[in-house]
A = this chain, B = another copy of it.
Amino acid sequence: MVTRQEDFSKWYLQTIQQADLMDYSPVRGCMIFKPNGYELWEHIQANFDKRFKEEGVRNAYFPMLIPESFFTKEKDHIEGFAPELPWVTEAAGEKLEERLALRPTSETMIGHAYSKWINSYRDLPLMLNQWANVFRWEKRTLPFLRTSEFLWQEGHTAHATGEEALDRTMRMLQVYKEVIEDVLAVPVFEGEKTPSERFAGAMNTFSVEAMMQDGKAVQAGTSHYLGTKFAEAFDIKYLNSNNEHVHAFTTSWGVSTRLIGSLIMVHSDDQGLVLPPKIAPQQVVFIPVGPWQKNPAIMEQINEWNQALQAKGVRTIIDDSDNRPGFKFNEWELRGAPLRIEVGPRDLENKQAILKARDLSEKETVAADQVVDRVLAELDIMQSRLFDRAKAMYQENMYTNINTLEELEAHIADCEAQGKPAGFVLAGWDGTEASEDLIKERTGFTTRNIPFDHAYGQKDTCIVTGKPAKETVWLARAY
């Protein structure tokens, strides 16, 4: 068993294997989502889907295969995605006249549809989302975080004005922040991507970035303001109230199964998966201990609590398998069940149960008539505790006093020597791609995003050139 400290990458792979979340497949970079892993996605999906619908976004489904000619309509878009596309060239025994790409994202297909569906200002705003599989042929892959096929949602909206479209772009970023922080208990850094890190074809890309326990970043969600670029490429026009045909303004935004990877890298520990209660497939596991098979009162007591909790909407499970309690404890720790309740003959006698929260080392004795209330309360408390703990970890690994590339290099060397994460570094940036390239070349750090506010400070000079800083940016290594 390797620890996070010893080798974070190995620890990650070990953790997802031992929790039985995934398996590799014979197709390069494509993974199998096993039931334990897919269940996490089902809960993530349900939470986002509910929020999207509250925002007035409706679901739809668009064809997966995209004609090559669609990609070439938006120059930046094809340039950005061409290197990663798989192509269907034959079907039903015949060579196709035009190659069909496996969608890496659907702006082009949806742009084509919107151009047919949008005619008047009465058709706007049009706000659709789809849950789908997408393909980006990756060279180096990592389960959940970077795979050739992955699952995601992509929202696509069209609006009458740029202002309204930009508002929607920002609003969906807030929805991402809310769900990721509230449900996944993963704090995020929100801000705008630099031009070189923008989505291919976007005017502006905004992101929420999460910090893993090794200090590296995961781009957890992105929201793009596309201006009229795709509307021009696909001829999405509407008749405005002045009777003029004008281009609509569009947005797109997505989160993917990467979220599973970041969820794990933020919360889990050397004993296995740690899951926030709101996302855990099983929130409470009951484990009878001692000679419980001979003492039916134990299972009667467990069944009573189990029913009471299920009636309150808690996702529970009773592990009444033949394995020994120690084996079960370990198994459910590896799988990240938030709360464990042990009940044995002595507990029955003392009218109590033993409660163990996955993230705490101490067990707690709870009076029998308090078990249901205590569990309900602890699920809430644990959810906040995991968020607060992640927030504290972020604080520890954020650096705001680094002002030159040399200082950044020294900081990284220092962290490596001490075996601690180099984390997120707040830096001044002169706004040039040359500076970004140099930062990356010398340190492996990339610009994550430009924070919306200056809560963590503002830099006057560029970390590379020493010239006046155009922006203050977060730098980090990233997955």
Contact = CB atoms under 8 A, between A and B. Distances in A.
A93 B25 CA distance: 22
- The CB with the most chain B CB atoms within 10 A, among A23, A60, A109, is that of A60
A346 interface: no
A64 interface: yes
Interface stretch (A31-39, A198-206, A413-421, A435-443): A31-39
Contact of A88 (B25, B63, B88, B132): B88
B65 A42 contact: no
Interface residues of A, number: 52
Contacts of A38: 58-61
Given A23-B113, A42-B59, A58-B39, A149 B64 contact: yes
A90 interface: yes
Contacts of A92: 83-86, 137, 139
Given A38-B59, A133-B64, A90 B91 contact: no
A44 to B, nearest CB: 13
Contacts of A61: 32-33, 38, 41, 151
Given A27-B66, A86-B88, A87-B91, 16 more contacts: A23-B116, A25-B63, A26-B70, A26-B112, A31-B63, A32-B63, A38-B59, A38-B60, A38-B61, A39-B59, A42-B59, A82-B93, A88-B88, A88-B89, A90-B99, A133-B133
Interface of A: 23, 25-27, 30-35, 38-39, 41-42, 58-67, 70, 82-93, 99-100, 102, 109, 112-113, 116-117, 128, 132-133, 137, 139, 149, 151
16 contacts: A23-B113, A30-B65, A31-B63, A32-B63, A33-B61, A33-B62, A34-B60, A35-B58, A35-B60, A35-B128, A61-B151, A85-B91, A86-B88, A87-B91, A88-B88, A132-B133
